[in-house]
Amino acid sequence: MKAVFLSLFALLLLSLPARAEIVLTLGHAVTVDHPRAQASRRFADSLKAHSGGRISVNILGGASFGDDVAMLKALQDGSLDISANSQGPISAFVPEINAFGLPFLFDRPEQALRLLDGPLGQQLAQRMAQAGFICLGFWDNGIRHFSNSVRPLLRPADFAGLKIRTPADPVAMDIVRALGAQPVEIRFSALYQALQRRTVDGQENPLLNIWAARLHEVQTHISLTAHKYEITPFVMSHTAWQALSGTDREIVLRAADEATRLQRTLTRSAEEEARQALMAAGIHFTRVKRQPFVKATRPIHDKWLAGPSGAYVRQVVEAAAR
């Protein structure tokens, strides 16, 4: 009888469906050696390891799925699962994130990341969830600087008459206008060609992005303005998140945490490597006097403090000052 019971139990186990394999699609818009791309691969590797090979990730890099705006829309409609995205585009859905991009709010990325890893980051993640994005981590895109192919930009007056490319980022556009230039929104994948054809005179990005996209080939001057910090939100579709079991959600968050720590470390080292590489390539660096730029862009703080997201913006500004 015991043997019969064991045989029946074994047959029952064999008849149970195996835990379904899951394939998630992750999109980003950067080159294969960029920290964002490397961290995406770490996420995929960690997820596969922690799930015993049951959860895998198909990575679509280099904007092959679409630009950041297209990826965010795809996350909302469920046709994309995960994206290592950008602060500007997601601000159209979560305007509170603009607080971290206010001009001259942070001197170093670590100051912003300290706030993002605390209650202010938790509040921001909650707002993202309300907009349909599950925040898996706040990645670091660094401090932004201006480059152009016309002249050294030493003071705000030097920006007069220039056309400066910006991403889909309202604060970046505000900064360019405050300095007396004309902002022109162009997606990152089309930026090199726009600079090459002189559709625009310049742009603003972290040094890492300038080097990775080879923008130094079509620009002659970099002004070390350090005017703006930028988050890289690592986000998941609400649809994909809801489809996961509680256990699988824990596995995803664990893998995302490992990827986040790697991405931040890689970004810091890659930014310095980019600085050295750009200098060796012969691009002209200009150090600016900070105070005239701070004064010229100060009204931007007032604008965002008075806006619909003003309460959250004030919390970030006050925390940054402490």
pLDDT tens digits, one per residue of 220-231: 999 999 999 999
8 pLDDT higher than 80: no
Domain assignment present for residue 14? The answer is: no
Considering all CA atoms of the chain, what is the largest pairwise distance in Å, rounded to the nearest integer? Answer: 93
How large is the average pLDDT for residues 188-204? Answer: 97
Per DSSP, the three-state class of 236 is strand
Q: Over the stretch 29-75, which tens digit does the pLDDT of each residue have? A: 999 999 999 999 999 999 999 999 999 999 999 999 999 999 999 99
Domain assignment present for residue 165? The answer is: yes
Domain assignment present for residue 302? The answer is: yes
Helices within the chain (DSSP H only): 2-15, 35-50, 68-77, 87-90, 109-116, 119-130, 170-178, 191-196, 207-212, 238-242, 246-280, 290-305, 310-321
Q: What is the DSSP letter of 216?
A: G
Domain assignment present for residue 7? The answer is: no
Q: How many domains does the chain have?
A: 1
1 pLDDT higher than 50: no
Domain assignment present for residue 11? The answer is: no
262 pLDDT higher than 70: yes
pLDDT (0 to 100) of residue 19: 61
Q: Over the stretch 70-90, which tens digit does the pLDDT of each residue have? A: 999 999 999 999 999 999 999
Domain assignment present for residue 16? The answer is: no
Question: CB neighbours of 9 closer than 8 A, spacing ≥ 6?
Answer: none
pLDDT (0 to 100) of residue 15: 41
14 pLDDT higher than 80: no
Q: Over the stretch 125-149, which tens digit does the pLDDT of each residue have? A: 999 999 999 999 999 999 999 999 9
Cα separation, 20 vs 42, in Å, equals 22
Write the Ramachandran bin of 181: left for phi over 0, alpha for psi from -120 to 50, otherwise beta: beta
Question: CB neighbours of 135 closer than 8 A, spacing ≥ 6?
Answer: 124, 125, 128, 129, 233, 234, 235
Q: Over the stretch 156-193, which tens digit does the pLDDT of each residue have? A: 999 999 999 999 999 999 999 999 999 999 999 999 99
Which residue in 302, 322, 305 sits closest to 314, CA to CA?
305
Which residue in 71, 22, 45 sits closest to 234, CA to CA?
71
Structural domain containing residue 177: 21-321
What CATH number is associated with residue 283? 3.40.190.170
Beta strands 221-237 and 163-166, pairing class: unpaired
17 pLDDT higher than 80: no
- Which residues in 24-57 are b (16+ Cβ under 10 Å) and which e? bbbbbbbeeebbbbbbbbbbbebbbebbeeebeb
Average pLDDT, the chain: 94
Domain assignment present for residue 168? The answer is: yes
202 pLDDT higher than 80: yes
103 pLDDT higher than 80: yes
92 pLDDT higher than 50: yes
Q: Over the stretch 273-314, which tens digit does the pLDDT of each residue have? A: 999 999 999 999 999 999 999 999 999 999 999 999 999 999
Domain assignment present for residue 2? The answer is: no
Confidence of residue 5 (pLDDT cuts 50, 70, 90): very low
pLDDT (0 to 100) of residue 20: 76
The reported pTM is: 0.91
